[in-house]
Chain A
Amino acid sequence: MIGTIVKKEIAANLLSYKFFVVILLASVLIFTSLFVMARDYKARLADYQLNKPAVGDATAVLPPNPLSILAKGLDESMARSIGVNVTGFDVQSGQKSGNIVYAFFPAPDFVYIVKLVMSLVALLFGFDQISREKENGTLKMMLANSVSRASLLAGKWIGNYLSLAVPFTLVTLLGIALIGLDPAIRLSAGHLGRLALLIALSLVYIALFLSLGLLVSALTQRSASSLVVLLFLWAGLVFILPNLGTLLARQIVNVPSTKALSEKRQQIWTSEILMVYAKNGEWNGQAWNERRVSMNREFDRLEEDYRRQADRLVRLSKTINRISPAGGFIYAATDISGTGIGEDYRLKQDIIRYKNQILADMIREKRPYPAFTYHYRSVGQVLAEGGLIDVAWLLTAVILVFAAGASALKRYDVR
């Protein structure tokens, strides 16, 4: 019986104009997004090639991550060029694609399209599954036969999910294949594995909103009412809740500004250096080296104090934002792509280690300086360091919402 209902739902979708319009919209958006972000990536890569440090330079800079085409996350911030010198860090501006306009409108990456548009599309598929059948009078006829409510819901869910998931996956894979043909965009086997995970995560996210659509449809008598309620819920879950965490966290955790601190530090250090140079005509010697080491330790301590508070803020913000599935989805997607908060934190730790190594080399007058290398976390590490929580929460939410929908349908008045 479930199989029949599934086939019926798929056929009904394929014959409806809504299906084609909505799938066309999603396809246009996904292709556009991949194309636009691929151009952005290539422009940033070209900038990186121009700014790449020469051999022996003490500069930490990462090339842009090809997976930022799908999940931009913090890639631009992570790709800032950071020069290491006697005063510590000299942070340069990052690679620029020239598209500062993405500061104006959000970067139209794949993850943004899924978060906003695919969730809306899933709601559009689910909002009238029960209430429309009731309005048309077909629901009571269906249930007058030996069709259980549970199999009805399961059949509708599977049929609509397949109608969504299959075209979505095909369009996404086609888009990725097309951008993969570009010689400037090199996707390794590791990247492809992460892409597969990203698509799987997106499918879970879509499943959640489809389940939500079915739930609300099973709680209302009119499809127009269910759509209005769902759109309010969607605005809340996708826009409001994911940002509320950040707003609330900022009120609870007060982070001292690092900018004024680093300016002061730079000024003190520059004055010391100029004084020593003016006195000696050079800057080396045992006492000077000891001074440099102790100043470096002092700066690292200041930096650590700031970092601890900032991490508290970020952790609290993440905890609250994760209540919304959209929030959890963004964190998981960017972590899997290597452009998330966890990766950024790890990179900063590595840069601090690199700085200390360079300082030691400066004191020992060892040249040329070693190049900065960074290895992205493996998928296992990503999941172990918090990614699994977001994925598990999304899966749990799907199950809970589906169960709530089943419970609502059991009590639904079909007359």
Chain B
Amino acid sequence: MLKTIVKKELLENIFSYRFPLFALLCVVLIPLSMFVNNAQYAKHLRDYGEQVRLADEASSGLKMQDVMAGRVAIKGFRRPALLSIFAQGFENALPRYYQFTQDGYAQGESASGDESLLSTQGKFDFVFLVQMVISLIGLLFASDVISGEKESGTLRAMLSNRLPRDAVLIGKIGGGFGALLAPFLVAFVLGVLLLLTGSFPLFAGDTAARLTVLALAASVFVLIYYVIGTMVSTSSSKTRTSLVAILLIWSGFQLVIPKLSDMFAALIYPVRTETQVSLEKSLVNNTIETETAKELGRQYDLVFGSAKPGTADDPKSPERQKWDPLRDDIQLRAREKKAQQIAAIEETYAQQKRRQQNLAVDLSLISPSAAFGRLVADICETGDLARAKYLEAVRAHQKALDNALFGKVKRTLMLHSGGRMTMALQAEPVDPKNLPKFTVTPASLPDTFKENWRSLLALAFWLVAPFAVAYTRFRNYDVR
């Protein structure tokens, strides 16, 4: 009996006017969005390759005099994410590169830059289509699943036979969702095939696995909205009422909750901006440098104050024997103090951001759309996880460059009494070809699932709870 109901629902949907409209929408838009985003990705990848090549050329021609003069800024570029073709996420908002200098790192401009002119109408990727368009259509298809049958009088006729209500409900959900899923998956596969004609590296790394997970997640998301629509349909006796309720639910899930969650999180746990943190770090840097310069100047005057001229240049003189370890000790303590204070600022900021973000994520999980969006963005390496990995790589690279390059230059700035300033420079030779390369290690798929357990739980909840409500309500539904 269940199979008969599923077949009936499937055929009814396929032969209705809604199905060809929906199928056309999917088959045109999904492959089109993938094709165009692929062209954009290819362009960004070419740019990235060229920029990395130029940056490597620049750093291989590095001279220690330039490092000593503080004129060197090394750039580390972020490779565009392959799966940004499907979910742009933060791809255009993240900085294209970070700049590393003796004084720390600074972010460059974002990937959107000049392209922002074309983003005034919003972005248009596969995930956006699923979240905003297909979810709405799923709700619409489900809006008259029960109330429509009641209005036409066929529900009473159906249930007057020996048809258990749960079989009717499950059959309707199964058949209706099947009619939605088929064109959706066909469109997705067509899109991927189109990408393959453009040498999309489907079998490189875990790309195939990620795409499979993406298709699965999107299918579950569409099912969730279909079940929510069915729940609304079992709660009203008129299709018109279901439709209004559905539109309100959709607006709430898509437009209200994702925005409100971040707003409430920002209100409850306000966090300073990156500019403010950056300025604070600069202040600490400058303060410690000035204090160190004064201390070095004072000690220098004490050691060499009464010595003969030229003693400071004679490494064998007793004054130099005294001065060198003293200077190194002061500089080491200053470096440690600076590293400690800057690390404390960064750690505090990171903790505050994490707290705010966790709250925002928790609140946004009230909306299945937000949970889905965050999960698939991380699967496609354009979400919060990618942002965190990028920053992690930036910090690690700054440390590596400090050890391999910037730390080889000892700039001894001294502020003497009377306001006189002197600077001594010492540099160890560095082979620019051996400088560390900037790389970002992406999160693995198991790690992505681990980090997104809350989103997965939320999606599971949104699948089960509306079904349970629909089931309970339909059992008590007045079919007369």
Q: Are A43 and B144 in contact (CB under 8 A)?
A: no
B424 within 8 A of A: no
A327, B36: Cα distance in complex, Å: 19
Q: Which residues of B contact A404 (CB under 8 A)?
A: none
Residues 1-25 of chain B, each 1 if its beta carbon lies under 8 Å from chain A, else 0: 0000000000000000010010001
Partner of B275, one of A28, A96, A235, A331: A96
B262 touches A99 (CB 8 A): yes
CB-CB < 8 A to B227: which residues of A?
A: none
Query: B54 touching A105 by the CB < 8 A rule?
Result: no
Tally of B interface residues using CB under 8 Å: 81
Q: Does B40 lie at the interface of the complex (its beta carbon under 8 Å from any beta carbon of A)?
A: yes
Whether the Cβ atoms of B58 and A243 lie closer than 8 Å is: no
Cβ < 8 Å to B, chain A residues 72-99? 73-74, 76-77, 80, 91-93, 95-99
Residue of B nearest to A135 (CB): B240
B240 touching A224, Cβ below 8 Å: yes
Q: Is the C-beta of A223 less than 8 angstroms from some C-beta in chain B?
A: yes
Q: In chain A, residues 223-244, which have Cβ atoms closer than 8 Å to a Cβ of chain B? A: 223-224, 227-228, 231-232, 235, 239-240, 242-243
A-chain residues with CB within 8 Å of residue B248 when the two chains form the complex: 21-22, 25
A284 to chain B, nearest CB (A): 17
B476 within 8 A of A: no
Q: Is B373 an interface residue, CB under 8 A from the partner?
A: yes
Is A169 in the interface zone, CB < 8 Å from B?
no
Determine if A203 is an interface residue (Cβ-Cβ < 8 Å): no
Main secondary structure of the interface of A (DSSP, over half): helix
**B255 / chain A contacts, CB cutoff of 8 Å:** 29, 108, 113, 116-117
Please judge, given known A-B contacts A51-B275, A235-B136, A259-B47, whether A330 and B240 are in contact too, CB under 8 Å: no
Q: Is the CB of A247 within 8 A of B36?
A: yes
B36-52 interface bits toward A, Cβ cutoff 8 Å, 1 = contact, 0 = none: 10011001001100110
Closest approach, in angstroms, between the C-beta of A310 and any C-beta of chain B? 7
CB neighbours of B373 from chain A (8 A)? 104-105
Q: Which of B180-229 contact A (CB under 8 A)?
A: none
B256 contacts A246, C-beta separation under 8 Å: no
Residues in A with CB closer than 8 Å to B326 are none
Q: Is the CB of A77 within 8 A of B263?
A: no
Distance of A74 Cα from B118 Cα, bound (Å): 10
CB atoms of B263 and A224 under 8 A apart: no
Q: Which of A332-377 contact B (CB under 8 A)?
A: 334, 340-341, 344
User: Does A341 contact B117, Cβ atoms closer than 8 Å?
Assistant: yes
Considering the complex, give the chain B residue whose CB is closest to the CB of A231.
Answer: B140
Which residue from B29, B32, B109, B140 sits with its C-beta under 8 Å from A93? B109
Q: Which residues of chain A are near B89, meaning CB under 8 Å?
A: 103-104
A260 at the interface (CB under 8 A from B): yes
User: Taking CB as reference atom, which chain B residue is nearest A259?
Assistant: B47
Within the complex, which residue of A25, A231, A251, A271 is in contact with B39, where a contact is CB–CB below 8 Å? A251
Closest A residue to B88 using CB positions: A103
Chain B interface: which of A57-65, A174-182, A262-270, A289-297?
A: A262-270
Asked whether, in the complex, the Cβ of A314 is within 8 Å of the Cβ of B90, the reply is no
Judge whether B244 and A235 touch: CB under 8 Å: no
Tell me the minimal C-beta distance from B80 to chain A in angstroms.
12
Bound CA span A344–B113, Å: 12
| Interface: A250 (CB within 8 A) | yes
Task: Using known A-B contacts A77-B116, A128-B240, A224-B240, determine if residue A29 contacts B256 with beta carbons closer than 8 Å.
Answer: yes
Chain A min CB distance to B378 (Å): 11
Contact between chains at B259 and A258 (CB < 8 Å): no
Do B259 and A74 touch (CB < 8 A)?
no
Chain B residues positioned under 8 Å from A270 (CB to CB): 58
The interface-forming segment of A4-12, A31-39, A141-149, A153-161 is: A31-39
Which residue of B is nearest A80, CB measured? B109
In chain A, positions 295-349 with a C-beta closer than 8 Å to chain B are 310, 313-314, 317, 321, 327, 330-331, 334, 340-341, 344
Central interface residue in A46, A76, A232, A334, by most chain B CB within 10 Å: A232
Residues of A within 8 Å of B272, CB to CB, are 98
CA distance in complex: A50, B273 (Å): 11
Chain A interface bracket (under 10, 10 to 19, 20 to 34, 35 or more): 35 or more
Q: Given A32-B259, A242-B122, do A47 and B117 touch, yes or no (CB 8 Å)? A: no
Q: Does A124 interact with chain B (Cβ within 8 Å)? A: yes
Is residue A120 within 8 Å, beta carbon to beta carbon, of the partner chain? yes
Inter-subunit contact A246/B46 (CB<8 Å): no
User: Least Cβ distance of A210 to chain B in Å?
Assistant: 16
- The docked-state distance in angstroms from the alpha carbon of A102 to that of B60 is 39
C-alpha spacing A329/B112, complex, angstroms: 23
A374-B136 Cα distance, complex, nearest whole Å: 44
Most buried by A among B32, B61, B120, B256: B120
Q: Across the interface, do A124 and B120 meet the contact criterion of CB distance under 8 Å? A: no
Shortest CB–CB separation between residue B51 and chain A, in angstroms?
Answer: 5
The answer for the CA separation of A370 and B46 in the assembled complex, in Å, is: 38
A100 to nearest B CB, angstroms? 5
Beta-carbon contacts of B294-322 to A below 8 Å, as 1s and 0s? Answer: 00000000000000000000000000000
Residue in A227, A258, A334 whose beta carbon sits within 8 Å of that of B240 in the complex: A227
Q: Which residues of A contact B39 (CB under 8 A)?
A: 250-251
Given known contacts A104-B90, A243-B122, A247-B36, A93 and B107 CB-to-CB distance under 8 angstroms: yes
From B118, B136, B275, B377, give the contact of A95 (CB < 8 A).
Answer: B275
Contact B273 A93 (CB under 8 A): no
**Residue from A18, A95, A103, A108 whose CB has the most chain B CB atoms within 10 Å:** A103
Are the C-beta atoms of A96 and B240 separated by less than 8 Å? no
A50 touches B54 (CB 8 A): no
Question: Is B263 touching A39 in the complex (CB atoms < 8 A)?
Answer: yes
Q: Give the segment of B92-100, B160-168, B426-434, B454-462 that binds chain A.
A: B92-100
Is residue B469 within 8 Å, beta carbon to beta carbon, of the partner chain? Answer: no
Docked-complex contact B247 and A39, CB < 8 angstroms = no
> B108 to A39, Cβ gap below 8 A?
no
Is the CB of A278 closer than 8 A to any CB of chain B? Answer: yes
Cβ-neighbour of B61 out of A22, A235, A258, A271 (below 8 A) = A271
> Is A25 in contact with B260, judged by CB distance below 8 angstroms?
no
Bound Cα distance A258, B44 (Å): 11
- Among B43, B118, B247, B370, the one with the most A-chain Cβ atoms within 10 Å of its Cβ is B118
- The answer, yes or no, to whether B279 is at the interface (CB within 8 Å) is yes
> Are B121 and A228 touching (Cβ within 8 A)?
no
> CB distance B54 to A74 under 8 Å?
no
Asked whether, in the complex, the Cβ of B55 is within 8 Å of the Cβ of A25, the reply is no
Q: Are A274 and B66 neighbours in the complex by a CB distance under 8 Å?
A: yes
Shortest CB-to-CB span from A144 to chain B, Å, is: 25
Contacts of A76 in B (CB 8 A): 116
Q: A99-B262, A224-B240 given as contacts; is B276 within 8 A of A47 (CB)?
A: yes
Q: Is B110 an interface residue (CB 8 A)?
A: yes
Give the Cβ gap from A319 to chain B, nearest Cβ, in Å: 13
Residue numbers in A under 8 Å from B46 (CB-CB): 257, 260
Q: State whether the Cβ of A189 lies closer than 8 Å to any Cβ in chain B.
A: no
**Complex: how many Å from CA A36 to CA B258?**
12
- B65 at the A/B interface (Cβ < 8 Å)? yes
With an 8 A cutoff between CB atoms, is A101 at the interface?
yes
Please judge, given known A-B contacts A77-B113, A251-B39, A310-B114, whether A224 and B243 are in contact too, CB under 8 Å: yes
Chain A residues within 8 Å of B387, by CB: 100
At the interface, yes or no: A106 with Cβ under 8 Å from chain B?
yes
For A250, give its contact among B36, B47, B58 (CB under 8 Å). B36
Q: Let me know if A227 and B243 touch, CB within 8 A.
A: yes
Contact partner, B262, options A96, A101, A228, A242, Cβ 8 Å: A101
- Chain A to chain B contacts (Cβ below 8 Å), 18 pairs: A35-B263, A36-B259, A77-B113, A93-B107, A99-B266, A100-B90, A103-B89, A103-B90, A104-B373, A105-B370, A117-B255, A120-B251, A132-B240, A231-B140, A235-B137, A246-B121, A246-B124, A321-B121
11 new A-B pairs (CB below 8 Å) besides A97-B273, A260-B47? Answer: A22-B244, A29-B255, A50-B279, A77-B112, A80-B109, A103-B89, A120-B247, A242-B122, A258-B114, A274-B63, A344-B117
